[in-house]
Chains A and B, each alone.
Chain A
Amino acid sequence: MRWMWIDRVVELERGRRLVAIKNISLAEEHLHDHFEAAPGRAALPVMPASLVIEGMAQTAGILVGHAEDFREKVILAKVSRAEIDVDPVPGFTIRYTATVEQMDAAGASTTGLVELIDPARPDRPPMPMGRIDLMFSHIDQNLAGHTFPEHNFVFGEGFKTLLRTSGIDVPA
């Protein structure tokens, strides 16, 4: 099963913009190691930046894949920029907004805004957390001479389930 780093798609404008959220939960085991208590220091559970980037890659990847009805195998090719200024901690919700910057037959570039929602302060707007810009390759178009399986292994059941539970129609 694919390790999903977003919980729900909340907005989708085909080929243009997708917003997804991720609830950070203390039930996630890795938070107990990142960072565990050490002599002279209490435990500090923080969602690792690498997983925040993966969350944006899934958000933007779905946006790029959806634009072509998931016919292309969309692979993360490059992290063009990643700035994370606030620690995401359990009990908060990350809001990912991915926007297509450019897209053609070979791939796409996206810009991404990361925000943090504090459920204890629903009156406050999401606070800026960082920015993650990415590049995606449609691998069948770029790795000439290499062959890949016919079926789209990128957008497997995990993604389809996520989209369905978010109320978005996906091909069977």
Chain B
Amino acid sequence: MLSRDEILSKIKTVLADSLAVDEDDIRPESTLTGDLGAESIDFLDIGFRIDKAFGIKIQQGELFPENAAQDPTLVKDGKVTPEGLTRLKARLPHFDFTGFEKDPQLAKIAQIFTVDALVKFVEAKLAKQG
């Protein structure tokens, strides 16, 4: 089982390759879109690269929230509903929703997509794999 630091190191390589950023500029608290310049299509690329780097199989919607805006029980008037927050937290436990839930505008959800969340995701996935 890889340590947290080893996972972080591999995640940094994944992100440096995918987003053409310097590994030294990648910190656990860095946000993928705000700090590292990821665009929507990069999320698919990052998922593929994590799959390969760690030998895991990520199902669609397991790593990042998908199609949330189209589900009226999740999002209403551009904001994630209380029920939506509960469901997203349960479905995506690797993300820290603490800051986001104070002002849960869907447009701001990218702030929870941090490097640390990816590390937590991989850690949990590897632990499940045993």
A→B interface (CB under 8 Å): 77-78, 80, 101-102, 104-107, 109, 135, 137, 141-142, 144-145
Beyond A104-B60, A105-B60, A106-B60, is A77–B69 a contact (Cβ under 8 Å)? no
Please, which residues of chain B bring their CB within 8 A of the CB of A144? 66-67, 69-70
Query: Once the chains bind, are A107 and B44 in contact (CB under 8 Å)?
Result: yes
Tally of B interface residues using CB under 8 Å: 15
Separation in Å of the A12 CB from the closest CB of chain B?
A: 23
Please, which residues of chain A bring their CB within 8 A of the CB of B40? 142
User: Which of B44, B51, B52, B66 has the largest number of chain A CB atoms within 10 A?
Assistant: B44
B→A interface (CB under 8 Å): 17-18, 40-42, 44-45, 48, 51-52, 60, 66-67, 69-70
Query: Once the chains bind, are A102 and B41 in contact (CB under 8 Å)?
Result: no
Please, which residues of chain A bring their CB within 8 A of the CB of B17? 80
The A/B interface has a contact count, at CB < 8 Å, of 36
Please, which residues of chain A bring their CB within 8 A of the CB of B70? 144-145
Please, which residues of chain B bring their CB within 8 A of the CB of A137? 41, 44
Chain A, interface SS category: strand
Query: Once the chains bind, are A101 and B48 in contact (CB under 8 Å)?
Result: yes
List 29 contacting pairs A-B, 8 Å CB cutoff, sorted by A. A77-B41, A77-B44, A78-B41, A78-B42, A78-B45, A80-B17, A80-B18, A101-B52, A102-B48, A102-B51, A102-B52, A104-B60, A105-B60, A106-B60, A107-B44, A109-B48, A135-B41, A135-B44, A135-B45, A135-B48, A137-B44, A142-B40, A142-B41, A144-B66, A144-B67, A144-B69, A144-B70, A145-B69, A145-B70
Separation in Å of the B39 CB from the closest CB of chain A?
A: 9
Within the assembled complex, what's the spacing in Å between the Cα atoms of A78 and B45?
A: 9
Separation in Å of the B62 CB from the closest CB of chain A?
A: 11
Within the assembled complex, what's the spacing in Å between the Cα atoms of A101 and B42?
A: 16
Across the interface, name the chain B residue whose C-beta is closest to A142: B44
Query: Once the chains bind, are B45 and A109 in contact (CB under 8 Å)?
Result: yes
The 8 closest A-B pairs by CB, nearest first: A144-B67, A77-B41, A102-B48, A109-B48, A144-B70, A107-B44, A135-B45, A106-B44
Across the interface, name the chain A residue whose C-beta is closest to B57: A104
Across the interface, name the chain B residue whose C-beta is closest to A103: B48
Within the assembled complex, what's the spacing in Å between the Cα atoms of A165 and B9?
A: 49
Across the interface, name the chain B residue whose C-beta is closest to A77: B41
Beyond A102-B52, A144-B69, is A80–B45 a contact (Cβ under 8 Å)? yes
Across the interface, name the chain B residue whose C-beta is closest to A144: B67
Please, which residues of chain A bring their CB within 8 A of the CB of B18? 80
Please, which residues of chain A bring their CB within 8 A of the CB of B60? 104-106, 141
Please, which residues of chain B bring their CB within 8 A of the CB of A104? 60
